[in-house]
Amino acid sequence: MAAPFTRTSLYRGPALVQYNGHTFFTRDDIVARLAPEWGAVNTSMYGEVDSVLADRVYQVPLTLWGAWENLADLFPAAVMAGTVGASIFGASDKALTIWGRNGDKVVYANAAVTKLANLHLGVGADLFSSAVEFTCLRANTANPEDANAYFTLSNSPLTEDAFAKTNFSRQRWTAAWGSVAGFASFVGEKGIDISWEAQMEPVRVEGWGTSDFTLAGFKAQARCIPIGPTLAQLEAASQSQDTALGSLLSGAVADLTLSAAKSGTIVLKNAALREHGYAFGQTPLRIGECVWETTRLFVDGVPGVVASVA
């Protein structure tokens, strides 16, 4: 009896990703699932008898290797300095390509970043502590049933020429919370962790499915165990007491600027100390983890930038 397959049909191998004219390399394998949204077709007599195609929205999460590169793509202005209610995908499609070493290529017609990668600023762990997530929709001018409306499959020899090991980044970072006493220059005992909360709502059109995403809100947080301030300085900078209930978090804010030893600057605008604590024991530092969170600044009624990464 003939063998059911040969080893040449075991298609596999790593891949790189291309987006907006730039190349991305991942730390982990790329797993891109195609799972259309199906709705149940129910009857009283027989229960669920079938499923109906309702929508197609495809996510591509990428856990990147630790390189300080492609920042404008990873932290797009449409989010960092975006206007609530504005389009995330914009007027023109941007293709996302996954290109395997064996030549297998998947080109998504229309992609945008919908979840920003969290960061660890320090030497003890990789730079990217979570995946960046791209969402892929149908091409702007295509109908859902059109050929290649969402993606195209092909095979062509892989071109490898963009990997820059010199962009790898594990550095010492320092922080400055404006000119707040005790916080004008400090470091994190275990580095500094940055997280992003980008709220995005799908725009769905019946018969065409999800056609865009709208920015509904955005804020950022920084966490660390600060080395530098005294307990008295920490309490003076916080709103843990001596502040009336009903007060705004933005009542005590300053820009939190994070700077790397060699290259890199992150600014969380109008950051307030949201929470902090104390630790008592043989080895932990007295000041525990502190959490800063951005608040929106308005100048003449116009909202300002929430954060920047450069």
CA distance 219 to 203: 21
Residue 224: which pLDDT band, with cuts at 50, 70 and 90?
very high
Contacts of 126 (CB under 8 A, 6+ apart): 27, 65, 66, 120, 170
Exposed e or buried b for every residue in 15-50, given b needs 16+ CB within 10 A?
bbbbbeeebbbbeeebebeeeeeeeeeeeeeeeeee
Strands (E), 139-247: 151-155, 173-177, 187-188, 192-205, 209-224, 226-227
**pLDDT tens digits, residue range 131-167?**
999 999 999 999 999 999 999 999 999 998 889 999 9
Supply φ then ψ for residue 224, to 5 degrees. -170, 165
Cα–Cα distance list, 171 to 22, 130, 132, 223, 248 (Å) = 24, 18, 21, 17, 35
| DSSP reduced 3-state for 184 | coil
Segment (H or E) for 79: helix 77-80
- Answer yes or no: are the C-beta atoms of 188 and 205 closer than 8 Å: no
Percentage of the chain modeled with pLDDT above 90: 90
- pLDDT number for residue 2: 74
Supply φ then ψ for residue 102, to 5 degrees. -85, 5
Segment (H or E) for 132: strand 132-137
CA distance 223 to 200: 24
Instruction: Give the chain's mean pLDDT.
Output: 95
User: Rounded to the nearest 5 degrees, what angle is found at the Cα of 62, between the Cα atoms of 58 and 66?
Assistant: 165
- pLDDT number for residue 298: 87
The pTM for the full model equals 0.93
- Per the structure block, which two tokens stand in for 153? 């499959």
In the chain, what is the straight-line distance between the N-terminal and C-terminal CA atoms, in Å? 62
* pLDDT of 279 above 80: yes
AA identity, residue 73: D
CA distance 80 to 196: 10
